[in-house]
């Protein structure tokens, strides 16, 4: 499995931005002892978002995502979202919603052999990234066929105050609630317009303070006709929970059977 660090100039953010990309182009077959992807296969892709205070390295250092992706032949793109909740900011050159929902997809598809099909393009995240995955997955539903939110910060427009200071991110929170910054607003708009709905996975630990808001958002999605897989299991707002759940997400996605290939952890049939 190739683990690639990318630095490129973002035209949306107007600065050089980093990405980690897991790309299964180097999988070697035991049968042929040659690279498997000789026919120009286009890879299914998961855009994976970190949480508050994190960056593009979090998922690789905090979970076994590289191993899980390798088994399934999945490309994983991990950008940095700073503390911006993956939405367009009130400050210039901080349009993180457009960055995630449009630019990253366009740029990585030009850089790497990625499928352009909606059914092969997924978005997921934890905490702040769970919010970002839900909002952008719903807003850009023509791009993303599957959404996964782990311990998602889905309480932000329910009157609960964030330690970050929501006005710094969203501007006037009351106005933002009735705009496409709010995942619930985007969800209702998508339903009203009759667009195809993404398939959704939500998980939250039973000891997580965000549990109630995740249950509420699950209920809203189901009420609006979405196909939702919802999981609660023991755990808090912590990497042990997210490591288990990102494995569950990858098993849930339409990726086919496992195929480890030849690698440093698998040297025999």
What was the pLDDT predicted at 155?
A: 85
What was the pLDDT predicted at 253?
A: 98
Mean pLDDT of the chain: 90
- Topology of the domain covering 2-252: Rossmann fold (3.40.50)
Give 165 or 110, the one with higher predicted confidence: 110
What was the pLDDT predicted at 172?
A: 75
CB 239 within 8 A of CB 41: no
Give 18 or 39, the one with higher predicted confidence: 18
CB 243 within 8 A of CB 58: no
Q: Which residues is 48 bridged to in the sheet? A: 124
55 contacts: CB under 8 Å, gap ≥ 6: 18, 80, 82
- Domains of the chain, by residue range, sit at 2-252
pTM of this prediction exceeds 0.95: no
Write out pLDDT tens, residues 187-204: 999 999 999 999 999 999
What was the pLDDT predicted at 158?
A: 72
- Averaged over 7-34, what is the pLDDT? 85
């Amino acid at each position: 499995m190739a683990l690639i660090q990318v630095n490129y100039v973002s035209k949306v953010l107007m600065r050089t931005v980093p990405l980690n990309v897991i790309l299964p182009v180097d999988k070697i077959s035991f049968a042929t002892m040659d690279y498997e992807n000789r026919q120009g296969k286009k890879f299914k892709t998961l855009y994976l978002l970190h949480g508050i205070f994190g960056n593009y390295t979090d998922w690789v250092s905090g979970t076994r995502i590289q191993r899980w992706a390798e088994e399934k032949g999945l490309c994983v793109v991990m950008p940095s979202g700073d503390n911006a909740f993956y939405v367009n900011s009130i400050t210039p050159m901080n349009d993180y919603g457009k960055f995630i929902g449009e630019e990253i997809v366009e740029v990585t598809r030009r850089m790497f052999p990625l499928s352009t099909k909606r059914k092969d393009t997924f978005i997921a995240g934890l905490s702040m990234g769970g919010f970002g995955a839900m909002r952008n997955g719903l807003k850009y539903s023509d791009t993303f066929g599957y959404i996964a939110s782990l311990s998602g910060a889905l309480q932000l427009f329910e009157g609960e105050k964030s330690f970050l200071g929501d006005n710094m991110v969203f501007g006037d929170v009351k106005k933002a609630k009735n705009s496409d910054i709010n995942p619930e607003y985007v969800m209702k708009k998508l339903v009203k317009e009759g667009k195809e709905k993404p398939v959704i996975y939500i998980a939250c630990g039973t000891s997580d303070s965000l549990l109630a808001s995740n249950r509420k958002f699950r209920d809203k999605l189901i009420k609006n006709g979405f196909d939702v897989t919802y999981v609660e299991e023991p755990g808090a707002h912590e990497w042990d929970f997210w490591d288990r759940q990102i494995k569950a997400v990858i098993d849930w996605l339409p990726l086919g059977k496992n195929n480890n290939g030849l690698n440093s952890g698998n040297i025999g049939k």
